[in-house]
């Protein structure tokens, strides 16, 4: 048991060491200019893990958590090493389309590239915030209206059923005509992409509020507005969050498409731009940044959801 | 709100209710006749119980008085005003607790006062007191899905009582409680309705409960529901659960409901006869 625990705890260290050995002592097929970022990163991961273990020595909760995540970290490091073997070390995957991790991480050592990636991320974030924000707020309000009012439902649903399934990106030509700037046009498209899932799921959540809850609230003295705000919306929140998740993923997709087509900034633009110069390692670097960026936003939304829907039994895990 | 102490607080005249035919319920083509000419008056401050077989329309009658369901024909008035829509002078405890699952027990109880103007409401101070009376102080901050069925019922009772409604309609509010908690709750209910002179209409399946709490007991016929018999308990009645008058009245109610014990059963105590 103790031996097994010790091996688990040391696994990420061993994996980092192995990855470093592969990187250092296995000669590259086609030697490239060596960048120190990748080995330093491996060193940093190993050091971070050691620090974590040291902290876990004193805390039972951290110790348990360390046991849980150790295999994952080890597996991630092994995968990176395998990736390096398949690319730079053996050339099994063709260059320059599949650069090794040392090449990809070298991007994060170049100040000019860092600047572009940071600016690109910020630009994407701004576009996303405005588009997703406006789209989901509008979708929420319209959804509440359609879910609550019989008349709004009657007139709104056919429109939703007809236009809802049309991908937001199909509106790009129209958006470009309607808006003078590409920023405006892409905000509109992203907003549109988040609008429909939000309307549909908010409306269905509001419409399926338990009738008996509304009756209780009415006998307790709630007026129409209070019924909506204090009964219908809280009980529709699980459905509203599903809408938010769908809206967020739809806006990620639309954001990148918009940036690859018209917008001259952002992570999507960076990818197309790097591709034009056949600098595929930059494409991969941008994909890594995108992964961190998008999954960070998703996790943030999940954290909010877990907090807000504490009252719900058996919440979905992320 | 109460016109005069002797005027009826609740009155129903010739109330009929026919539910339209629904899938899954075998009826004649006209639908389900749930209530057939119910006449009823409850004086201000009076405590009246309704007993009757399951499905005879007791809940339907309560819902009609509360304005949640419309009668097919007949007249219903509360405090002299014809019922049209939900009247917030009426407190209603539903057969299901129907607590809001996203609110804690205290927030559920505070719902009414919050809807009626938050902290300015003079009754807001009652919230913790009521939670304590229904024995849920330790669970005041618990969410409904952590409560047992009986606890949820008690929370629902507190939620309806906190508004101090002049008229209280209770649909089996203590149905899920064990015998001892139930007796304690009956005492609380009696004290509170007495103290605030609350007009109360209680639906119950427990004859002892009806006898113990009420000034009058109304016995419903099987569906289509009608009031078949009325039993006045009167103020001189000893409410001790084993007093001679108590047992005798219980037997009379059982008889009306065709549950009278046969001669062979009689030597055994009839104490545990419930509908
Ligand atoms: N919404 C409805 N639609 C159709 N029929 C209904 C509806 N509500 C009640 N009924 C019918 O009306 C009759 C009386 O129902 P009700 O709920 O009033 O009975 P109850 O006396 O409260 O019974 P219990 O003691 O079991 O609660 C039943 O036959 C039921 O099927
Ligand atoms: Mg009922």
Instruction: Express each pLDDT in B192-203 by its tens digit.
Output: 888 888 899 999
String of DSSP letters for A72-109: HHHHHHHHHHHHHIIIIIT--SPTTTS--HHHHHHGGG
Kind of pairing between the strands at B90-93 and B73-78: unpaired
Kind of pairing between the strands at B90-93 and B81-82: unpaired
pLDDT band at B251 (very low <50, low <70, confident <90, very high): confident
Does A215 contact B94 at a Cβ distance shorter than 8 Å?
yes
> For residue A153, is it within any domain?
yes
Indicate if the pLDDT at residue A198 is higher than 90.
yes
Average pLDDT of span B60-83: 89
- Nearest chain A residue to B87, by CA: A219
A95 and A142 in a common domain: no
Q: Which residues does A157 contact at the CB level (< 8 Å), separation at least 6?
A: A146
The overall average pLDDT reported for chain B is 81
Considering A113-117, A199-203, B232-236, the range whose residues carry the highest mean pLDDT is A199-203
Residues of A within 8 A of B101 (CB-CB) are 235, 311-312
Residues of B within 8 A of A311 (CB-CB) are 101-103, 143-145
- The residue ranking higher by pLDDT, A170 or B256, is A170
Domain boundary among A100, A121, A144: A100
Does A311 contact B159 at a Cβ distance shorter than 8 Å?
no
Which residues of B fall below an 8 Å CB-CB distance to A? 66, 68, 86, 88, 90-92, 94, 96, 98, 100-103, 111-112, 114-116, 143-145, 159-160, 163
Kind of pairing between the strands at B199-203 and B167-171: parallel
In angstroms, the Cα distances linking A264 to A230, B150, B176 are 44, 64, 66
- The residue ranking higher by pLDDT, B63 or A261, is B63
Q: Which residues does B222 contact at the CB level (< 8 Å), separation at least 6?
A: B52, B53, B55, B56
3-state secondary structure of A5: helix
A217 and A134 in a common domain: yes
> For residue A147, is it within any domain?
yes
> Looking at chain A, how many residues does it have?
318
The residue whose CA has the least distance to atom 28 of ligand 1 is B55
Euclidean distance between CA atoms B152 and B41, whole angstroms: 31
Euclidean distance between CA atoms B44 and A280, whole angstroms: 85
Euclidean distance between CA atoms B163 and B93, whole angstroms: 12
Euclidean distance between CA atoms A247 and A136, whole angstroms: 7
The pLDDT of residue B196 is 86
Cα B221 to ligand 2 centroid, rounded to whole Å: 14
The overall average pLDDT reported for chain A is 89
Cα A18 to ligand 2 centroid, rounded to whole Å: 71
Residues of B within 8 A of A305 (CB-CB) are none
String of DSSP letters for A242-283: HHHHHHHHHHHHHHHHHHHHT-SSSHHHHHHHHHHTT-HHHH
pLDDT band at A82 (very low <50, low <70, confident <90, very high): very high
The pLDDT of residue B271 is 47
- 8 A C-beta contact, residue B92 and residue B162: no
Cα B96 to ligand 2 centroid, rounded to whole Å: 9
A128 and A19 in a common domain: no
Kind of pairing between the strands at B47-51 and B167-171: unpaired
> For residue A106, is it within any domain?
no
Chain center to CA of B120: 29
Domain boundary among A53, A73, A100: A100
| Residue from B23, B38, B58 whose mutation best tests the ligand 1 pocket (most atoms within 8 A of CB) | B58
The pLDDT of residue B104 is 92
String of DSSP letters for B110-129: THHHHHTTGGG-GGGGHHHH
Indicate if the pLDDT at residue A40 is higher than 50.
yes
A119 and A20 in a common domain: no
Least confident of A22-26, A246-250, B119-123, B184-188: B119-123
The pLDDT of residue B191 is 87
The pLDDT of residue B268 is 47
Euclidean distance between CA atoms B134 and A97, whole angstroms: 71
In angstroms, the Cα distances linking A94 to A22, A86, A88, A99, A161 are 19, 9, 9, 8, 46
Domain boundary among A73, A100, A127: A100
Indicate if the pLDDT at residue B261 is higher than 60.
no
> For residue A43, is it within any domain?
yes
The pLDDT of residue A297 is 93
Which of A219, A224, A232, A313 is the best substitution to test chain B (most B C-beta atoms within 10 A)?
A: A219
Domain with residue A255: its CATH number is 1.10.3720.10
The pLDDT of residue A28 is 82
The pLDDT of residue A81 is 92
Considering B23-27, B65-69, B207-211, B262-266, the range whose residues carry the highest mean pLDDT is B65-69
> For residue A105, is it within any domain?
no
A152 and A94 in a common domain: no
B133 Cβ closer than 6 Å to some ligand 1 atom: no
Edge to edge, the sheet with strand B73-78 lists: B32-43, B8-19, B73-78, B81-82
The pLDDT of residue B260 is 52
Nearest chain A Cα distance for residue B53, angstroms: 23
Euclidean distance between CA atoms A290 and A124, whole angstroms: 10
The pLDDT of residue B82 is 84
The pLDDT of residue B242 is 66
Q: What angle do CA A65, A68, A74 make, to 5 degrees?
A: 120
For chain A, the domain total comes to 2
Which of B62, B103, B111, B155 is the best substitution to test chain A (most A C-beta atoms within 10 A)?
A: B111
Average pLDDT of span B23-27: 67
The residue whose CA has the least distance to atom 8 of ligand 1 is B60
| Residue-number span of the structural domain to which A49 is assigned | 2-100
3-state secondary structure of B94: coil
Indicate if the pLDDT at residue B174 is higher than 60.
yes
The pLDDT of residue B179 is 86
**Nearest ligand for residue B53 CA:** 1
A151 and A96 in a common domain: no
A128 and A17 in a common domain: no
Indicate if the pLDDT at residue B17 is higher than 70.
yes
B56 Cβ closer than 6 Å to some ligand 1 atom: yes
The pLDDT of residue B237 is 61
Average pLDDT of span B263-270: 48
3-state secondary structure of B1: coil
> For residue A317, is it within any domain?
no
Does B111 contact A235 at a Cβ distance shorter than 8 Å?
no
Q: Residue B167 pairs with which residues in a beta bridge?
A: B90, B199
Indicate if the pLDDT at residue A235 is higher than 70.
yes
> For residue A221, is it within any domain?
yes
B22 Cβ closer than 6 Å to some ligand 1 atom: yes
A219 and A286 in a common domain: yes
A174 and A96 in a common domain: no
A304 and A242 in a common domain: yes
Instruction: Give me the percent of chain A exceeding a pLDDT of 70.
Output: 97
Indicate if the pLDDT at residue B20 is higher than 60.
yes
> For residue A318, is it within any domain?
no
Euclidean distance between CA atoms A272 and A258, whole angstroms: 11
The residue whose CA has the least distance to atom 1 of ligand 1 is B19
Task: Give per-residue pLDDT as tens, B49-63.
Answer: 999 888 888 999 999
Does A212 contact B98 at a Cβ distance shorter than 8 Å?
yes
Token pair for residue A155? 């007139």
Q: What angle do CA A49, A53, A54 make, to 5 degrees?
A: 115
Indicate if the pLDDT at residue B274 is higher than 50.
no
Task: Give per-residue pLDDT as tens, B196-239.
Answer: 888 999 999 888 888 888 889 998 888 787 888 887 876 656 66
Task: Give per-residue pLDDT as tens, B76-128.
Answer: 988 888 888 887 788 999 988 999 999 999 999 999 888 887 555 555 567 88
- 8 A C-beta contact, residue B255 and residue B85: no
Task: Give per-residue pLDDT as tens, A278-296.
Answer: 888 899 999 999 999 999 9
ipTM over 0.90: no
pLDDT band at A245 (very low <50, low <70, confident <90, very high): very high
pTM, full prediction = 0.84
Task: Please identify, by atom number, the ligand 1 atom nearest to the C-alpha of residue B220.
Answer: 21
Task: Give per-residue pLDDT as tens, A144-174.
Answer: 999 999 999 999 999 998 988 899 889 888 9
Of A195, A196, A204, A222, nearest to A144 by C-alpha is A204
Q: What angle do CA B194, B195, B196 make, to 5 degrees?
A: 95
A153 and A55 in a common domain: no
Average pLDDT of span B242-255: 74
* Exposed e or buried b per residue across A55-80, where buried means at least 16 C-beta atoms within 10 angstroms of its C-beta: ebeeeeeebeebeeebeebbeebbeb
Residues of B within 8 A of A211 (CB-CB) are none
Instruction: Give me the percent of chain B exceeding a pLDDT of 70.
Output: 82
- Nearest chain B residue to A225, by CA: B115
Residues of B within 8 A of A310 (CB-CB) are 143
Instruction: Give me the percent of chain B exceeding a pLDDT of 90.
Output: 24
The residue whose CA has the least distance to atom 23 of ligand 1 is B55
DSSP run (H or E) holding B42: strand B32-43
The pLDDT of residue B7 is 66
A17 and A137 in a common domain: no
What is the longest distance spanned by two Cα atoms in chain B? Answer: 62
- 8 A C-beta contact, residue B11 and residue B40: yes
CA atoms within 13 Å, Cβ hemisphere of B221: 14
Residues of A within 8 A of B59 (CB-CB) are none
């Amino acid at each position: 048991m103790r031996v097994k625990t010790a091996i688990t705890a040391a696994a990420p260290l061993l994996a980092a060491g192995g990855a470093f050995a592969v990187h250092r002592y296995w000669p590259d097929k086609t030697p490239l200019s060596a960048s120190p970022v990748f080995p330093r990163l491996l060193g940093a991961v190993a050091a971070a893990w050691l620090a974590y273990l040291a902290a876990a020595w004193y805390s039972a909760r951290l110790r348990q958590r360390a046991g849980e995540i150790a295999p994952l970290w080890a597996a991630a490091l092994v995968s990176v090493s395998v990736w390096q073997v398949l690319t730079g070390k053996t050339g099994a995957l063709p260059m320059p389309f599949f650069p090794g991790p040392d090449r990809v991480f070298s991007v994060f050592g170049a100040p000019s590239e860092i600047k572009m990636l940071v600016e690109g991320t910020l630009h994407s974030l701004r576009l996303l915030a405005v588009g997703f924000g406006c789209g989901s707020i509008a979708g929420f309000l319209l959804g509440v209206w359609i879910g609550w009012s019989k008349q709004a439902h009657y007139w709104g649903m056919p429109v939703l059923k007809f236009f809802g399934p049309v991908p937001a990106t199909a509106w790009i030509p129209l958006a470009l005509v309607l808006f003078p700037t590409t920023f405006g046009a892409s905000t509109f498209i992203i907003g549109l992409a988040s609008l429909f899932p939000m309307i549909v799921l908010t409306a269905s959540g509001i419409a399926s509020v338990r009738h008996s809850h509304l009756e209780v609230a009415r006998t307790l003295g709630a007026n129409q507005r209070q019924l909506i705000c204090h009964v219908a919306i809280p009980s529709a929140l699980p459905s509203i969050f599903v809408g938010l998740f769908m809206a967020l993923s739809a806006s990620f997709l639309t954001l990148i498409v918009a940036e690859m087509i018209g917008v001259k900034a952002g992570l999507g633009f960076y990818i197309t731009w790097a591709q034009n110069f056949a600098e595929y390692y930059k494409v991969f670097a941008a994909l890594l940044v995108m992964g961190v960026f998008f999954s960070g936003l998703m996790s943030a939304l999940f954290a909010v959801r877990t907090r807000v829907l504490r009252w719900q039994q058996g919440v979905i895990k992320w | 709100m109460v016109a005069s102490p002797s005027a009826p607080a609740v009155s129903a005249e010739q109330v009929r209710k026919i539910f339209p035919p629904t899938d899954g319920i075998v009826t004649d083509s006209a639908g389900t006749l749930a209530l057939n000419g119910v006449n009823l008056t409850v004086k201000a401050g009076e405590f009246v119980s309704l007993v009757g077989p399951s499905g005879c329309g007791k809940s339907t009658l309560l819902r009609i008085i509360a304005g949640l369901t419309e009668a097919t024909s007949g007249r219903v008035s509360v405090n002299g005003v014809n019922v049209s829509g939900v009247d917030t002078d009426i407190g209603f405890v539903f057969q299901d607790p129907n607590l809001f699952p996203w609110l804690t027990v205290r927030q559920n109880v505070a719902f009414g006062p919050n809807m009626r103007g938050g902290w300015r409401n003079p009754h807001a101070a009652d919230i913790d007191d009521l939670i304590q009376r229904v024995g849920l102080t330790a669970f005041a901050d618990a969410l409904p899905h952590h409560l047992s069925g009986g606890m949820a019922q008690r929370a629902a009772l507190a939620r309806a009582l906190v508004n101090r409604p002049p008229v209280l309609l209770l649909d089996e509010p203590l149905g899920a409680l064990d015998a001892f908690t139930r007796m304690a709750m009956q005492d609380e209910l009696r004290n509170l309705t007495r103290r605030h002179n609350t007009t109360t209409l209680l639906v119950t399946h427990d004859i002892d409960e009806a006898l113990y709490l009420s000034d009058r007991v109304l016995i419903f016929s099987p569906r289509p529901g009608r009031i078949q018999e009325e039993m006045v308990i009167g103020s001189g009645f000893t409410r001790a659960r084993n007093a001679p008058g108590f047992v005798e009245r219980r037997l009379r109610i059982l008889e009306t409901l065709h549950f009278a014990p046969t001669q062979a059963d009689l030597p055994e105590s009839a104490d545990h006869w419930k509908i």
